[in-house]
Structure 1
Amino acid sequence: MSRKIVENIIVQLRDIQNGKTWYDDNLENKIEPISETQAFERPIPEVHSAAELIYHIWVWRMHAIKLLRGQESKLSIESPENWKSNEALKKMGWKKLKADLRESQTELIAFLSDKNDDYLENNTYKPNHALKYLVEGIIHHDLYHLGQIGITIKLLDMDR
């Protein structure tokens, strides 16, 4: 059984989190310098804080992990869990948010480690949507919000 797709996905997940990337900093390099105070600060009201973005990435990764395991997940863009307020996230703390994000990546990679391409291409999480589509979507989602974290940081730095 081929594992080319699975191995490529694992490499991409690792690169986004803490690997060497050609596009800019990975998630770890981007979020590590952010202070506890900065993490929960919105540079302007319409732009999410780094903490909001990290939580959002995490909650969708956990959604994907559940679906990959064949479990039910009710998460949708309308769910209150999709975006939590900074006030709610402050109760969790910046260190916990970062730790949860790291743990979700470890969990996702561990799950995929013993899978083959056939598993991703021939199993669906909803009609006409293979698990491969779901995992590729998580990669795209992570990158999209990594860019937003970069914008948030730049805007916060401009205010200082």
Structure 2
Amino acid sequence: MTNSELIANRLKEVLLNGHWIANTNYQELIKSVTWKQATQKIDSLNTIAALTYHINYYLAGILNVFNGGTLEIRDKYSFDMPPITSENDWKQLIDEFLKNAEAFIFKVEKMSEQKLNAVFVDEKYGTYLRNIEGVIEHSYYHLGQISLIKKLITDNNV
């Protein structure tokens, strides 16, 4: 198995179908949440919808670079989510997230060793591999938050 395939499998695990590290994944978790739960605010915590949007923002932005575009995303905009006011809005966010996750994984799976070790946009960002590993780590970090927020909501019937 190539390094690209190995790292793509790690992405699949956190985003689409794994259970090894967190005993869940984004697809499973966000599909089990209603739009009311996804938008439920608990104290100063981000909502499940905001965290889903946040990870999707980075997937889409980095995917744009993978597809030959420029790096247009900025951290300060990563939580600028349009309002979620219906089940349909929530489903659209989920669908976009899953579409971007699948496309991201596909691109990573096909990357050459040379591309993985190439500079990502600018030397200050490191290599493609470093950025992909960052997506994995960042995704697990927020997956844990989403899991805890869901537990708070369901345990308290919020």
Under TM normalisation by the shorter chain, which class is it?
A: 0.7 to 0.9
In the alignment, what sits opposite 2:5? 7
How many Å apart are 1:141 and its aligned residue? 1.2
How many Å apart are 1:38 and its aligned residue? 0.9
How many Å apart are 1:4 and its aligned residue? 2.2
Are 1:107 and 2:85 matched, yes or no? no
TM-score, with normalisation over the residues of structure 2? 0.87
How many Å apart are 1:20 and its aligned residue? 3.1
In the alignment, what sits opposite 1:31? 30
Q: Which runs of 5+ in 1 are unaligned?
A: none
Q: Distance in 2 between matches of 1:53 and 1:124?
A: 24
Moved more, 31-40 or 123-132: 123-132
The ranges of structure 1 where at least 4 consecutive aligned residues each deviate by more than 6 angstroms after the TM superposition are: none
In the alignment, what sits opposite 2:120? 124
Conserved? CA contact 2:71–2:121, under 8 Å: no
Conserved? CA contact 2:17–2:25, under 8 Å: yes
Q: Provide Cα deviations, 1:2-30, integer angstroms capped at 9, x if missing partner.
A: x6221111101111123232232111221
Conserved? CA contact 1:68–1:131, under 8 Å: no
Q: How many residues align?
A: 154
Residue of 92, 99, 113 corresponding to 1:96: 92
Amino acid across the alignment from 2:36: T
Residue of 130, 135, 140 corresponding to 1:133: 130
Q: Distance in 2 between matches of 1:19 and 1:59?
A: 20
Amino acid across the alignment from 1:134: N
